[in-house]
Amino acid sequence: MDFKESEGGHQQADFTTILVSTIHDVKNSLGLVLHTLDEVMEVCTPQECKVHDRFAKLHYEAKRVSNDLVRLLSLYKIGNQQLLCNISDYSVADFLEDCQAQNKPLLQMNGISVETECADDLLWYFDTELLAGVVNTVINNALRYTQDRLKLVAREENGFLRLSVEDDGDGYPDALLHGDADAKGGVSFQTGSTGLGLYFASVVARMHENQGRQGYITTQNGGSYGGGRFSIYIP
Amino acid sequence: METIFKDKKVLVIDDFPEMRSSLRRMLDSFGVESCDDVDSGERAIEKMEEKAYDIVLCDYNLGLDRKDGQQVLEEAKHRELLPYHVIFMMITAENTMAMVMGAVEYKPDDYLTKPFTKEVLHTRLKRLLERKTHMVGLEQAIHNKEYRKAIAICDSHLASKPKNIMELLKVKGGLCIKAGDFELAVKTYEQVLGVRDLPWARMGLGKSAYYENRFEDAKKTFEGLIEQNKTNIEAYDWLAKVLVKLDQPEVAQEVLAKAVKLSPNAIRRMNQLGELAHENNDLDTAKKSYKKAIQLGKHSCLKGPEHFTGLAKVLVEQDNTDEALEVAQATRKEFKGNTDADLQASVMEGVIYTQRHEEDKAKEAIGKANKIYEENKGEVSASVTMDMAKVNFAVGDEEHGKDLVQDLVRDHHEDDKLLKEVEAVLENSSLKDEGKEIIEQTKKEIIDINNKGVYLVKEGKMEEAISFLEQAADGLPNNKTINLNAVQAMLLYMERNGKDDSYIKKSRQFLDRVAKTDPASEKYQRLAAVYQGIIAA
């Protein structure tokens, strides 16, 4: 006896479905590539290994592709209402610790030190997966522009959680500066992945709502190190 | 190197060899010395039976037509292979897990989304280990069902304003509901909502309203939650429950159907939809749902013969007795050595052959069922017993039919809905004329026993009352009223005369009997709270 539902029969998969499942596949393979690279990099230290910086470059680019794919999938799901904001309460310090841990190999390889500034007892309400996606992307971008350090800052400001990534590079170009509000109007896909990253960040920010207030992002120059400062505000 | 991982025994479950070795290398670098890995959920369960682990890392996706990670977790918890100190971490490929697995019965301690670095795994495991150590007293109390004590532990943690204050309040609210203290539950959830509008706190308020029989309030709360988040599966489940109580089974079915669409992998919900549709006479939906429940149960410990029975009954109603017979046979095959399944299959065959007017075969089948029933008295569900009675009457075995009907009345003498069904069965039988009297007489027999117990309590003959009710309860293990009254007498005695180990044990046993069938009943909740108070004193 067949307990399976016998309706429909063969179904023609549409192109979007094929695309999405392919992205999944590629993303998972890339995950293994990154794992392996992490392991290689552990024995291939800058002192002993001549090609260390090549591996670092390889790792950085692979990570970028991986982040892009994750973001693409997320945007697809948001558009399809498959990905909703699942807001819960989290320790912000724990959250930043997770973000740092996720990016540790990459940061180490590139010789970049990270500092965090966050009160131990700061508790906030957000979707941890979505926000981690934003922070990972921003850190990855900041790596390109910073010299040797990054700072993650989290604090409460006027009823919002402000989460900033600051670097000591040359800062954002004028076209990407947004003093306030969101980057919706400012996204230009010609400017490369920074635009897509900011677009994703602003989508995630706006998905967070509380008592009639909506999240937003800003990009400024200055901050503790005088470089670029990306901030996401979560109500 | 830190030493917290040194003595930890770890089990890795993943169907990809590369992933397994990658995880092993990570664990190795944390200082883990004892690590096993397996490629399937089936092997994982075997391993957990052999050895006590401290940490289990399990990939959600373990290959087509195999147990998935959730089923591994369910079975391990179900078979008590995961004591409270063990960390179970689910590794998933995407971040929609919360939705897909929404409102499942068992949740892992943490989800980890791929890809992740070694450092993330390290940070998360370390944090979980610390949290478990911190919460060990609390979890132990919960495990022992000492809810009052657990609430007190929550309060003492909360007094120090810890980082996980919201988590503790969430646990506390849930414990209040379990202990039957809905007033404190409402207070706890309102305390949270005063700070922030969090869905789980509103869920808690809705559940409290449900248990306090404030069904309209509960309905509004769950509807509001769904409006806010259309994927809040748990809210759909509860809304459906409320609607059944409000006597709107059709609307309840619609709500449950939506939940099933959002989260199609939960067996229990799928079966509930089948039952509800069956009651609503929507046979096509009922058939589809039962079939799906059977299919989902293939690799799960949550599969049950009742899914097969449900399907067979629908098929009989659709006059498709051939397929119904196949289902009965499949039940035996699927649950080899399971008495309950054997009984249900025999009853089904009885029903089917009766429908086909093949009286000899029906007699043979029901004869077999009667024998199993006798050997397992007190453990057969009401709906199976009811079907048995019907078949017995249909094949002319008046004596067995009457016995079964009386058993039903004895077990549920205050359940008017069930008594109506019994009356209908008798109405269609050869005992038509005596039907009402049989019910009334049996009911009276139980009421007399109960009254005698209550009378003895009132007279202050506590020991006599307890021993009388205790005996009655053991003779009628499924009778809610008698069991609860026995508990009440013992608790009253202990309130006056102090704790008594044998009464505590007996009370727990009787309360557990009721908890199996009707944990939501007001009297059960009230007595459970008193019981908690006494053992905590």
pLDDT tens-digit readout, A94-116: 999 999 998 888 888 788 999 99
Residue B97's pLDDT is 52
Residue B94's pLDDT is 65
Estimate the crossing angle of helix B17-30 against helix B118-143, to 10 degrees.
80
Asked if A92 contacts A154 with a C-beta cutoff of 8 angstroms, the reply is yes
Domain extent listing, chain A: 15-79, 88-234
- Residues B357 and B355: their CA atoms lie apart, in Å, by 5
Beta strands in B234-327 (DSSP E): none
- Residues B195 and B90: their CA atoms lie apart, in Å, by 31
How many Cβ pairs closer than 8 A exist between chain A and B?
95
**Within an 8 Å CB–CB cutoff, is residue B251 touching chain A?**
no
Query: Per residue in B155-169, pLDDT tens?
Result: 999 998 877 788 889
Question: B34-38 and B9-13: which strand pairing?
Answer: parallel
Q: Do A91 and B164 touch (CB under 8 A)?
A: yes
Comparing CB atoms, the residue among A24, A86, A98 nearest residue B98 is A86
Say which residue, A176 or A168, is predicted with more confidence. Answer: A168
Residues of B in contact with A32 (CB under 8 A): 18-19, 22
Residue B453's pLDDT is 94
Residues of A in contact with B95 (CB under 8 A): 74, 83, 129-130
- State yes or no: ipTM above 0.85: no
Q: Min CA distance, A226 vs chain B (Å)?
A: 29
DSSP-assigned letter for residue A4: S
- Residues A148 and B331: their CA atoms lie apart, in Å, by 67
**Within an 8 Å CB–CB cutoff, is residue B193 touching chain A?**
no
Q: Residue B199, Cβ neighbours under 10 Å: how many?
A: 17
Q: Do B124 and A28 touch (CB under 8 A)?
A: no
**Within an 8 Å CB–CB cutoff, is residue B107 touching chain A?**
no
Residue B237's pLDDT is 93
Q: Do B22 and A32 touch (CB under 8 A)?
A: yes
CATH number for the region A88-234 comes to 3.30.565.10
**Within an 8 Å CB–CB cutoff, is residue B99 touching chain A?**
yes
Q: Is the pLDDT of residue A181 over 50?
A: no
Indicate whether this model's pTM tops 0.90: no
Comparing CB atoms, the residue among A5, A83, A94 nearest residue B96 is A83
Residue A226's pLDDT is 84
Q: Is the pLDDT of residue A84 over 80?
A: no
Q: Do B116 and A28 touch (CB under 8 A)?
A: no
- Residues B119 and A100: their CA atoms lie apart, in Å, by 9
Probe site for chain B from A2, A3, A135 (most B CB atoms < 10 A): A3
- HSE-up of A98 (CA within 13 Å, CB side)? 21
- Nearest partner of B119 among A106, A129, A122, A32, judged by Cα: A106
Asked if B378 contacts B407 with a C-beta cutoff of 8 angstroms, the reply is no
Residues 36-95 (B) with a CB less than 8 A from some CB of A: 93-95
- Based on the number of CB atoms within 10 Å of its own CB, is B72 exposed (0-12), middle (13-18) or buried (19 or more)? buried
Nearest Cα residue in chain B from A98: B120
Q: Do B196 and A120 touch (CB under 8 A)?
A: no
Residue A7's pLDDT is 44
Nearest Cα residue in chain A from B295: A3
- Nearest partner of B514 among B480, B469, B472, judged by Cα: B480
Give me the amino acid identity at B348. Answer: M
Give the Å distances, CA to CA, from B50 to A12, B14, B27, B43, B45: 46, 19, 21, 11, 9
Give me the amino acid identity at A26. Answer: V
Give me the amino acid identity at B300. Answer: S
DSSP-assigned letter for residue A12: P
Apex B168 CA angle, B537 and B213, nearest 5: 75
Mean pLDDT taken over chain A: 82
Question: A160-167 and A209-210: which strand pairing?
Answer: unpaired
Question: A227-234 and A216-222: which strand pairing?
Answer: antiparallel
Comparing CB atoms, the residue among A38, A73, A121 nearest residue B118 is A38
- Residues A213 and A211: their CA atoms lie apart, in Å, by 6
- Residues B466 and B507: their CA atoms lie apart, in Å, by 11
Asked if B75 contacts B45 with a C-beta cutoff of 8 angstroms, the reply is yes
Q: Min CA distance, B443 vs chain A (Å)?
A: 43
Q: Do B95 and A74 touch (CB under 8 A)?
A: yes
**Within an 8 Å CB–CB cutoff, is residue B19 touching chain A?**
yes
Q: Do A101 and B123 touch (CB under 8 A)?
A: yes
Q: Do A102 and B120 touch (CB under 8 A)?
A: yes
Comparing CB atoms, the residue among B115, B118, B197 nearest residue A31 is B115
Query: Per residue in A49-60, pLDDT tens?
Result: 888 888 888 888
Residues of B in contact with A60 (CB under 8 A): none
**Within an 8 Å CB–CB cutoff, is residue B228 touching chain A?**
no
Nearest Cα residue in chain B from A25: B93
- Residues A138 and A132: their CA atoms lie apart, in Å, by 10
- Based on the number of CB atoms within 10 Å of its own CB, is A75 exposed (0-12), middle (13-18) or buried (19 or more)? middle
Probe site for chain B from A24, A73, A86, A109 (most B CB atoms < 10 A): A86
Probe site for chain B from A4, A33, A39, A89 (most B CB atoms < 10 A): A89
Q: Min CA distance, B284 vs chain A (Å)?
A: 12
Residues of A in contact with B233 (CB under 8 A): none
Comparing CB atoms, the residue among A31, A89, A211 nearest residue B198 is A89
Query: Per residue in B32-66, pLDDT tens?
Result: 999 999 999 999 999 999 999 999 999 998 887 88
Q: Do B98 and A101 touch (CB under 8 A)?
A: no
Collect the ranges in chain B with pLDDT lower than 70.
1, 94-105, 520
Residue B373's pLDDT is 95
Comparing CB atoms, the residue among B94, B96, B119 nearest residue A101 is B119
Nearest Cα residue in chain A from B329: A1
Binning pLDDT at 50, 70 and 90, where does residue A46 land? confident
Sign of CA dihedral A115, A117, A121, A123: negative
Q: Do B327 and A1 touch (CB under 8 A)?
A: yes
Residue-range domains of chain B with CATH: 9-141 (3.40.50.2300), 145-212 (1.25.40), 304-433 (1.25.40.10), 448-536 (1.25.40.10)
Q: Which residues contact A14 (CB under 8 A, 6 or more apart)?
A: none
Query: Per residue in B11-40, pLDDT tens?
Result: 999 998 988 998 999 999 999 999 999 999
Binning pLDDT at 50, 70 and 90, where does residue A5 land? very low
Q: Min CA distance, A44 vs chain B (Å)?
A: 16
Q: Which residues contact A145 (CB under 8 A, 6 or more apart)?
A: A167, A169, A170, A171, A227, A228
Q: Residue B17, Cβ neighbours under 10 Å: how many?
A: 10
